[in-house]
C-alpha cells in the first residue's frame, strides 16, 4: 500500500507541472479553475488518506485550498504544501499507511479510489478499493465475534454468509469480491476491468452505509 501511495504522489507531482498560467492585468498570472482545482482535489484526497485530517499537512493544505482563487502565488503555495507532504511521506516520517486503514478513513480511500478511476488510473483504484473492502470485511467479522486473523478473504466471506450477516443481493455481490481482490493483490492488471473496480467501490460504499454508519 505504501508503494501505491508513493506512486500516486509521484504522478501528482508530475501533473502539477502541466498547469498552465495565463497573464493577468495586475501582473500576476492565474490558472483556469478546471486545471488547478482538478489537481488540488486529487492532492487533497491523497494527503488526507496518507496523513489524516488532524495533521498539519492536511490542515494547511485545506486552508490554502479554500483560499485559493487560482492566482499563481496561491497555486504555487498549494504545490509547495503538497511537495512537503510528499517529501515527508517518502522519507518515512508518517506511520505505515496499512496501519491507518480503519473504519474512520474508509471514506477517504473510497474517494481516492474513485478519483483515481476517473483519471484513468485503474490499477491504483483497484488496489485502494480492494484494500478498503478487505479491511471492512475483517472488521465486520470481528465485530460479530468471527475470527478473521489468519483467514483468507474467501474464508471470511463464507463465515459472514454462514452467520447470516450478508444476504440477498449483498450476498451475491460479496461472493464475487475475493476474485477481484486476489487479482489486484497479485498485480494481474490485464484481468481487471474498470467495471470490476466500480463494483468493488459500490459494494464498499453499500457496506459503509449498512454496517458502519452507526444508524
Q: What is the pLDDT along the chain (215 residues), one digit of tens a residue?
A: 677 788 889 999 999 999 888 887 666 788 877 889 999 999 998 898 888 788 889 999 999 999 999 889 999 999 999 999 999 888 876 654 543 444 455 667 788 888 888 888 888 888 888 888 888 788 778 777 788 778 887 888 888 888 888 776 667 777 777 788 888 878 888 888 898 888 888 888 877 776 665 44
Task: List domains and CATH numbers for the chain.
Answer: 2-98 (no CATH), 101-211 (1.20.120.330)
How far apart CA 144 and CA 26 sit, in angstroms, is 62
| Locus of grid cell 474512520 | 104
Task: Give the span between the Cα atoms of 174 and 212, in whole angstroms.
Answer: 16
Q: Where are the alpha helices (DSSP H) in the chain?
A: 2-15, 33-51, 56-67, 72-90, 106-118, 122-143, 153-162, 168-185, 194-211
Task: Name residues whose C-beta falls within 8 Å of residue 208's C-beta, 6 or more positions apart in sequence.
Answer: 106, 107, 110, 136
Backbone angles phi, psi at 71, to 5 degrees: -70, 150
Nearest in space to 173 (alpha carbons), one of 213, 204, 214, 130: 204
- The answer to whether 39 and 19 have CB atoms below 8 angstroms apart is yes
Cα 58 to Cα 14, 45, 62, 192: the distances in Å are 20, 9, 6, 32
Cα 186 to chain center, whole Å? 19
Amino acid at each position: 500500500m505504501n508503494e501505491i501511495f508513493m506512486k500516486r504522489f509521484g504522478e501528482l507531482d508530475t501533473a502539477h507541472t502541466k498547469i498552465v498560467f495565463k497573464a493577468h492585468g495586475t501582473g500576476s498570472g492565474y490558472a483556469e479553475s478546471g486545471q488547478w482545482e482538478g489537481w488540488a482535489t486529487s492532492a487533497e484526497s491523497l494527503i488526507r488518506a496518507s496523513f489524516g485530517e488532524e495533521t498539519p499537512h492536511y490542515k494547511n493544505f485545506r486552508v490554502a485550498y479554500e483560499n485559493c482563487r487560482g492566482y499563481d502565488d496561491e497555486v504555487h503555495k498549494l504545490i509547495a504544501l503538497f511537495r512537503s507532504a510528499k517529501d515527508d511521506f517518502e522519507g518515512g516520517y508518517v506511520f505505515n499507511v496499512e496501519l491507518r486503514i480503519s473504519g474512520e478513513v474508509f471514506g477517504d480511500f473510497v474517494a481516492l479510489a474513485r478519483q483515481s478511476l476517473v483519471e484513468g488510473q485503474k490499477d491504483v483504484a483497484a488496489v485502494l478499493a480492494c484494500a478498503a473492502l478487505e479491511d471492512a470485511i475483517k472488521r465486520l467479522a470481528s465485530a460479530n465475534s468471527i475470527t478473521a486473523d489468519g483467514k483468507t478473504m474467501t474464508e471470511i466471506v463464507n463465515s459472514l454468509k454462514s452467520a447470516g450477516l450478508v444476504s440477498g443481493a449483498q450476498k451475491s455481490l460479496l461472493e464475487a469480491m475475493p476474485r477481484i481482490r486476489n487479482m489486484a493483490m497479485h498485480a494481474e492488471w490485464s484481468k481487471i476491468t474498470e467495471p470490476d473496480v466500480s463494483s468493488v467501490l459500490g459494494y464498499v460504499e453499500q457496506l459503509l452505509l449498512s454496517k458502519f454508519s452507526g444508524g
